[in-house]
Amino acid sequence: MLEIKLCTNCKRSLSKNDINSGHAVYQEGGRLICKECLSSKTRKEKGYEEKDFILESLLNEAKNINRTLNYTPASWLNIVASVVQCFVFGSLIFAYLNRNGDVHAYLLLALVFQVMALTFFVMKK
Q: Say if residues 91 and 110 touch (Cβ distance below 8 Å).
A: yes
Residues 6+ apart with CB under 8 A from 26: 19, 32, 33
Residues 59 and 81 placed together within one structural domain of the fold: no
Residues 55 and 83 placed together within one structural domain of the fold: no
Residues 15 and 62 placed together within one structural domain of the fold: yes
Residues 13 and 57 placed together within one structural domain of the fold: yes
Residue 114: pLDDT band (50, 70, 90) is very high
Beta strands 24-26; 13-14: pairing state? unpaired
Residues 12 and 50 placed together within one structural domain of the fold: yes
Residues 12 and 33 placed together within one structural domain of the fold: yes
Give SS3 for 49.
coil
Picking from 68, 89, 112, the residue at the C-terminal end of a domain is 68
What's the CA gap between 76 and 11, in Å, rounded? 46
User: What does DSSP assign to residue 6?
Assistant: E
Residues 20 and 57 placed together within one structural domain of the fold: yes
Residues 80 and 64 placed together within one structural domain of the fold: no
- Is the pLDDT reported for residue 119 higher than 70? yes
Beta bridge pairs of residue 33: 25
Please state the pTM of the whole predicted model.
0.41
Range of the domain at 109: 76-123
pLDDT, one tens digit per residue, over 79-107 is 888 899 899 998 889 888 888 888 888 89
Residues 103 and 59 placed together within one structural domain of the fold: no
Q: Tell me, what's the pLDDT at 1? A: 44
pLDDT, one tens digit per residue, over 23-66 is 666 665 667 777 777 666 655 555 556 677 678 778 878 877 77
Residues 29 and 63 placed together within one structural domain of the fold: yes
User: What amino acid occupies position 75?
Assistant: S
Cα–Cα nearest to 5, from 42, 37, 21, 25 = 25
Residues 62 and 104 placed together within one structural domain of the fold: no
Report the number of distinct structural domains present in the chain: 2
Q: Say if residues 64 and 40 touch (Cβ distance below 8 Å).
A: no
What's the CA gap between 81 and 87, in Å, rounded? 10
